[in-house]
């Protein structure tokens, strides 16, 4: 039988059968309302009254729990379809992708003295992923920490894209008048990606245009299903390349659907739901608490103690962006749920911004006002080197940048630490510190290997051991002594002649002086 002749009633029964298949687990910020998606059918469409199947209109009230097919959306339940309609109403007052792009360029023009914009790639539907960089020297690399904010990871959680534009404009409007704005602009490089998923926002979907949840698309430490980079979504690859190019110290992604600061690990080895902390668990708890306690009411949560949670303890996910940043980028990332509603009314956005403003600012300032910062140099050349820094007792390392050899290690203040710098080809060095409430500057000068009896290849190709090195050093010492003796001889001769002249002058007849 041709599809065009299928009776709507039998079509509904057929589609209902597909709905019996299980859907994916819920994601950070609430449950996935999209359900099981299938390719859209050309013979069904959505209207304000219900769903139309081959010219037969089926009102929403008659659909009950039957799934229906909606063009460009897929297979969703009737309840979800109602929510899709509600989202269209809720989207009023939010910037469209085109309006957001205009706003980003307008900001760059208005605040050109402290900003620049650039694109890290494009979405599935070729929309540029625009980034705003804010710094007093936005077009230069400096030995300063870098932080990135990412919004709209999920297309149906758009509050982050609006709040991040509020943050950018606040910094521009208050620099250099406000001390906190000045501290951030002049001492770090802030990168803001308002929307990671513009296609999902346009389609009012959680996933991207390929209906992939981007927060499940990153390579995972426990499961290898996402390890093939060629099969990652373009938005995911853009983030991965971005992290490799920039030297990010920390970051945060903004979501909606809860009110909590989430930190690694996001999953467990056996997929069990329990607390599973990463090596820097203490530091992540501190970072999450900085955000929560600065928030209007996040720390008062009855569901999450102190307004913070370990991801695996909340519910495990795999392929998340947060864990990937920490493992592969040395970037300490939080997942911030900043509104109870996934898609709050536009009229509520100014209030949500105010509730999160000090949290965002204090999180940024904490990178500057606490932790250990410094540079790593080579003793033989005096040049900076891209070594790594570790803390005794913490199984993780932070790499220094290639340009300046600068590192920025976030650790909890008020404790004692042993900090070690190392790099291949150099001897590691360590020192003990007491980190008070303020940041500590600590530079390392590493000696190259070569004084341990091993042979080293010089530029002229000569293989010189310790014996030959000793003879070379001894020859240099004798040369220095010979030069010193010659200089001393000249000095004595000069002094003797000068003394003779003074004696002759003293006993010669005095000459008259003209007045």
Neighbours of 98 (CB within 10 A): 11
Q: H/E element holding 313?
A: helix 311-314
**Considering Cα of 285, then 290, then 293, then 296, what sign does the dihedral take?**
negative
Find out whether 337 and 256 touch, Cβ atoms under 8 Å.
yes
Catalytically annotated residue among 101, 246, 333, 337: 337
Question: What's the CA gap between 214 and 233, in Å, rounded?
Answer: 8
**Considering Cα of 76, then 80, then 85, then 91, what sign does the dihedral take?**
negative
Question: What's the CA gap between 214 and 265, in Å, rounded?
Answer: 17
Look at the block and give the residue holding tokens 């204090």: 362
Find out whether 438 and 369 touch, Cβ atoms under 8 Å.
yes
Question: What's the CA gap between 475 and 397, in Å, rounded?
Answer: 43
Neighbours of 63 (CB within 10 A): 18
Question: What's the CA gap between 298 and 155, in Å, rounded?
Answer: 23
Structural Rg of the chain based on CA atoms: 33
Catalytic annotation on 45?
no
Which one, of 158, 160, 169, 164, lies nearest residue 92 by Cα? 158
How far apart are the two ends of the chain, measured CA to CA in Å? Answer: 135
Burial of 120 (0-12, 13-18, 19+ CB in 10 A): buried
Annotated active-site positions, please? 337
């Amino acid at each position: 039988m041709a599809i065009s002749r299928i009776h709507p009633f039998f079509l509904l029964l057929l589609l209902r059968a597909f709905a019996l298949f299980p859907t994916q687990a819920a994601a950070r910020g609430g449950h996935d309302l999209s359900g099981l998606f299938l390719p859209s059918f050309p013979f069904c469409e959505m209207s304000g009254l219900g769903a139309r199947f081959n010219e037969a209109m089926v009102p929403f009230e008659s659909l009950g729990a039957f799934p229906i097919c909606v063009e460009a959306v897929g297979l969703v339940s009737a309840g979800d379809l109602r929510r899709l309609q509600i989202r269209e109403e809720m989207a009023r007052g939010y910037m469209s992708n085109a309006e957001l792009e205009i706003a980003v360029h307008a900001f760059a023009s208005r605040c050109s003295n402290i900003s620049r914009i650039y694109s890290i790639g494009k979405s599935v539907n070729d929309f540029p992923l625009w980034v705003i960089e804010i710094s007093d020297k936005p077009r230069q690399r400096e030995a300063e920490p870098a932080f990135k904010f990412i919004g709209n990871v999920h297309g149906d959680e758009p509050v982050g894209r609006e709040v991040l534009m509020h943050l950018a404009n606040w910094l521009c409007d208050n620099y250099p008048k406000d001390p906190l704005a000045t501290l951030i602009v002049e001492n770090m490089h802030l990168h803001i990606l308002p929307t990671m998923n513009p296609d999902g926002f346009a389609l009012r979907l959680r996933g991207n245009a390929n209906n992939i949840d981007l927060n499940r698309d990153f390579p995972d430490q426990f499961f290898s299903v996402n390890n093939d980079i060629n099969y990652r979504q373009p938005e995911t690859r853009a983030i991965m390349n971005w992290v490799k190019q920039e030297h990010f110290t920390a970051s945060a992604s903004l979501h909606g659907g809860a009110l909590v600061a989430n930190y690694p690990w996001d999953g467990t080895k056996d997929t069990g739901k329990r607390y599973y902390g990463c090596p820097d668990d203490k530091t992540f708890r501190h970072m999450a608490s900085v955000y929560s306690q600065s928030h209007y009411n996040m720390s008062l949560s009855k569901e999450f103690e102190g307004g913070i949670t370990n991801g695996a303890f909340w519910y495990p996910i795999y392929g998340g962006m947060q864990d990937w940043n920490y493992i592969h980028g040395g970037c300490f990332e939080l997942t911030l749920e900043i509104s109870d509603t996934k898609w709050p009314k536009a009229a509520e956005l100014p209030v949500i911004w105010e509730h999160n403003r000090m949290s965002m600012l204090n999180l940024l300032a904490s990178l500057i006002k606490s932790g250990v910062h410094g540079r790593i140099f080579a003793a033989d050349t005096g040049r900076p080197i891209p070594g790594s820094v570790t803390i005794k007792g913490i199984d993780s390392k932070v790499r220094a940048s290639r340009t300046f050899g600068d590192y920025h290690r976030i650790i909890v203040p008020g404790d004692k630490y042993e900090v070690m710098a190392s790099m291949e080809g150099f001897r590691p060095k360590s020192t003990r510190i007491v980190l008070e409430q303020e940041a500590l500057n600590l530079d390392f000068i590493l000696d190259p290997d070569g004084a341990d009896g091993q042979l080293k290849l010089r530029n002229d190709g000569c293989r010189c051991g310790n014996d030959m090195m000793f003879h070379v050093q001894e020859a240099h010492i004798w040369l220095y002594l010979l030069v010193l003796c010659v200089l001393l001889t000249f000095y004595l001769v000069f002094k003797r002649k000068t003394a003779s002249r003074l004696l002759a002058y003293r006993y010669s007849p005095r000459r008259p002086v003209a007045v």
